[in-house]
């Protein structure tokens, strides 16, 4: 498979041709990031390539997108916590300054990160981290992909695990 999917990430996901897709969610696609200098980096791609901004979605779709972002963030957190004891937290970001389509970044953060970057936004990492082949997504990330996918499945299948499913809530 060529890298043509990179030029149309959402269209290729809709066609089943984007190899980074972990799962189809309600309002988009959970994908693993092209770079893994912070193992577990994932992105939620909106499922409409014409939508550039969150505000372009109708209110109901906005809530679905945010619920998907929550689900992906929790899945990354669970998987990374289990795989690396130095896991600290997950950062969630909806930016949109570079790519002209709606997407959200899910960044796991670790205690082993350089001290000068530990409390800074991920975007402060040097450019080499983003382009270094050592950090490119590859076959060695298969266990990480599987772990995040399994957590997405668990979170999607068990409504009792969702934060919006409060004890005593009407489930009819």
The residue range of the domain holding 61 is 3-156
> Is residue 168 in a domain?
no
Q: Are the C-beta atoms of residues 141 and 22 closer than 8 Å to each other?
A: no
Number of domains into which the chain is organized: 1
What distance in Å separates the CA atoms of residue 6 and residue 69, rounded to the nearest whole number?
A: 21
Tell whether 86 is covered by a domain: yes
Q: Residue 77's domain is classified under what CATH number? A: 3.30.428.10
**Domain-embedded: residue 131:** yes
Confirm if 31 and 23 have CB atoms less than 8 A apart: no
pTM of the predicted structure, to 2 decimals: 0.88
Q: Is residue 75 one of the residues assigned to a domain? A: yes
Per-residue pLDDT of the chain (172 residues; tens, 9 = 90+): 467 888 899 999 999 999 999 999 999 999 999 999 999 999 999 999 999 999 999 999 999 999 999 999 999 999 999 999 999 999 999 988 888 899 999 999 999 999 999 999 999 999 999 899 999 999 999 999 999 999 999 999 755 544 444 333 333 3
């Amino acid at each position: 498979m060529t890298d043509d999917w990179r030029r149309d990430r959402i269209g290729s996901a809709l066609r089943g041709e984007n190899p980074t897709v972990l799962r189809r969610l309600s309002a988009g696609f959970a994908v693993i990031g092209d770079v893994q200098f912070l193992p577990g980096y994932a992105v939620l791609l909106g499922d409409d390539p014409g939508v550039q901004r969150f505000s372009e979605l109708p209110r109901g779709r906005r809530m679905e997108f945010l619920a998907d972002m929550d689900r992906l963030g929790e899945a990354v957190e669970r998987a990374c916590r289990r795989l690396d004891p130095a896991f600290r937290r997950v950062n969630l970001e909806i930016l949109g300054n570079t790519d002209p389509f709606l997407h959200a970044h899910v960044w796991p953060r670790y205690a082993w990160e350089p001290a000068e970057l530990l409390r800074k936004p991920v975007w402060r990492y040097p450019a080499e981290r983003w382009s270094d082949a050592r950090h490119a997504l590859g076959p060695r990330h298969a266990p990480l992909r599987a772990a995040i996918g399994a957590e997405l499945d668990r979170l999607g299948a068990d409504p009792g695990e969702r934060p919006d499913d409060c004890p005593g809530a009407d489930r009819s």
